[in-house]
Amino acid sequence: MPSKTATATDRTDQVLRAALPEDRAESKRLILAHALTAFNARGIEATTIDDVRAASGQSVGTIYHHFKNKEGVVAALLFAAVDDQSRAISARIEGLEDSHAVVESLITAYVGWITAHPDLARFVFMAREVVASGPFGDELRQRISARYAPIDACFARDVKYGRVMPLPEELIPALVLGAAEWYSQSWLAGRRMASPAERAEMLAEAAWRSIARQI
């Protein structure tokens, strides 16, 4: 039986292969896999290109050739994770038109991905603000906007039908994902025993109640 660590490593490899499927991208995948370990161990700011070089066995020149700089490494790794999580969410919400069902499926997919990919999830929580405030910020915002566009459209329809409260757009992510993110980060830090996936049903219902119009 594979260990939990081996399973997590295998799943990270699958995410990187989905982002970089070509055979010739093997060195890129290797750099990103070792960069993930370094960033999670030392933090993004403290990790240097030389740390990534030493861990991955790739030359500094190769790293710069593929990613230009450390910011490029961080962004490439974050985009691989975000895109994989977006695919998981899209697969769950496809075809749904009811906001309650959409929220339930969104939260289930969101915390399910975090539970299945703890190393990548730690990095996502650490890196997203770093990338958002840097040269790749617009690209990250485009990815996130594309992820949530069909969900926002569903909510907008149900506001008209009176099922969802009319809320400021910037408040909705905090209400819908806030509890799930807080619990997930606590679990990743070892402060909660039950995985986010085990709490998905309760987190989803809490998320729905935070935006549903009470009748």
Please indicate, yes or no, whether residues 115 and 62 belong to a single structural domain of this protein: no
Please indicate, yes or no, whether residues 85 and 113 belong to a single structural domain of this protein: yes
Please indicate, yes or no, whether residues 47 and 84 belong to a single structural domain of this protein: no
193-213 residues labelled b (16+ CB within 10 A) or e (exposed): eebbbebbeebbebbbebbbe
Please indicate, yes or no, whether residues 52 and 110 belong to a single structural domain of this protein: no
Please indicate, yes or no, whether residues 150 and 179 belong to a single structural domain of this protein: yes
Residue 2 has pLDDT above 60, yes or no: no
CATH number for the domain including 54?
A: 1.10.10.60
Please indicate, yes or no, whether residues 51 and 88 belong to a single structural domain of this protein: no
Q: Which of 71, 101, 121 is the last residue of a domain?
A: 71
Average pLDDT value for residue range 34-51: 97
CATH number for the domain including 88?
A: 1.10.357.10
Residue 164 lies in domain: 78-211
Please indicate, yes or no, whether residues 85 and 122 belong to a single structural domain of this protein: yes
Q: Which of 17, 44, 71 is the last residue of a domain?
A: 71
Q: Are 93 and 150 within 8 A, CB to CB?
A: yes
Q: Which of 40, 71, 102 is the last residue of a domain?
A: 71
- 65-110 tens-digit pLDDT: 999 999 999 999 999 999 999 999 999 999 999 999 999 999 999 9
User: Which of 29, 77, 73 is closest to 50 using CA atoms?
Assistant: 73
Give the per-residue pLDDT at 6. 53
- 21-33 tens-digit pLDDT: 998 899 999 999 9
What is the count of structural domains for the chain? 2
Give the per-residue pLDDT at 48. 97
Please indicate, yes or no, whether residues 102 and 207 belong to a single structural domain of this protein: yes
Please indicate, yes or no, whether residues 12 and 90 belong to a single structural domain of this protein: no
Please indicate, yes or no, whether residues 113 and 174 belong to a single structural domain of this protein: yes
Looking at beta carbons, which pairs linking 85-93 to residues 24 or more positions away fall under 8 Å? 85/109, 85/110, 85/113, 85/117, 85/124, 86/143, 86/146, 86/147, 87/18, 88/112, 88/113, 89/113, 89/147, 90/147, 90/150, 93/150, 93/151
Please indicate, yes or no, whether residues 104 and 23 belong to a single structural domain of this protein: no
Give the per-residue pLDDT at 9. 84
Give the per-residue pLDDT at 215. 59
Please indicate, yes or no, whether residues 67 and 87 belong to a single structural domain of this protein: no
